Structure 1
């Protein structure tokens, strides 16, 4: 009987983990793993970009020391996101996102992710340019409708 209880407990925890995925945001290793900026959700893969109901909209593509750029994610209701700022010429991580409600910042790689599993209609983020230099920036990442349905490699407009 004890083995049956243990097996049932393990099965329950496995199902809960599968259903919830990463309710408090993407881990920092999303920055550097084999498929950067994409969630690793087992057998599930990104949907074709041309079918995405989401847009990443930036208030500017130009940065200079101390400039703030607003970044919005809009479209259908979604559960989560992982967005990075990158220099348009070098593709290197750049600047730092500001902590905003219900987000988690990964300053190690200039990224921001959701911090709760609630449905979202829109996310408004604030990115801070580096204190030196100027140039062009773009924002890229993933938006998750749910654990199994997501779009990766989206880029700002």
Structure 2
């Protein structure tokens, strides 16, 4: 009988120590809590959901993207704003939306007035994106607002969205049509 008690204590001890280490680990809050509350700022560069939290997407390569990312205008001047609509047939629970300048590939402009359930995300490079701020979202046919940079930058801007339908069912970095940046 004593032998079995000592074995059961040995098994519980390492498990208890493991849980204590996980809970005290400063990174555990990012692995366990941060992703349901929106994309962490370090994913801005790749727009790829964390494989640790989401796992690989079950979306097939030949599966059609069920959304359209449409801007309210095809041309914009400095300091002007536009609406970006994401229209689709399936409600989504998570989003990361960025404005990328071409030819530089840098994120530009500012997202403003985030809709309920979303928030402004400051990326590690200081740029701004939109993300979800909770898991209770069920978004369909949504609209976001973006303002062009204060100074003229020749080129175009393309809006890219990563959309999460379920934990492991997501589409990564899907583009809008390019928007021409015009001088003031």
Q: TM-score normalised by the shorter chain: which range applies?
A: 0.7 to 0.9
Match of 2:82 in 1: 69
Give the count of matched residue pairs: 147
| Deviation at residue 49 of structure 1 after TM alignment | 6.8
4+ residue runs over 6 A deviation: none
SS of 1:22's partner is helix
Change (3 A) 1:49 1:57: farther
Match of 1:38 in 2: 48
Report if the CA contact (8 A) 2:71-2:83 is conserved.
Answer: yes
From 129, 134, 138, the equivalent of 1:116 is 134
From 119, 131, 145, the equivalent of 2:165 is 145
Q: Distance in 2 between matches of 1:114 and 1:70?
A: 17
| Deviation at residue 99 of structure 1 after TM alignment | 3.2
| Deviation at residue 21 of structure 1 after TM alignment | 7.6
Which segment is superposed worse, 70-79 or 58-67?
58-67
TM-score relative to the length of structure 1: 0.78
Change (3 A) 1:63 1:88: farther
Match of 2:180 in 1: none
From 122, 127, 131, the equivalent of 2:150 is 131
Unaligned runs of 5+ in 2: 1-7, 178-184
Unaligned runs of 5+ in 1: none
Match of 1:29 in 2: 42
**Greater RCO (CA < 8 Å, at least 6 residues apart):** 1
Change (3 A) 1:131 1:21: closer
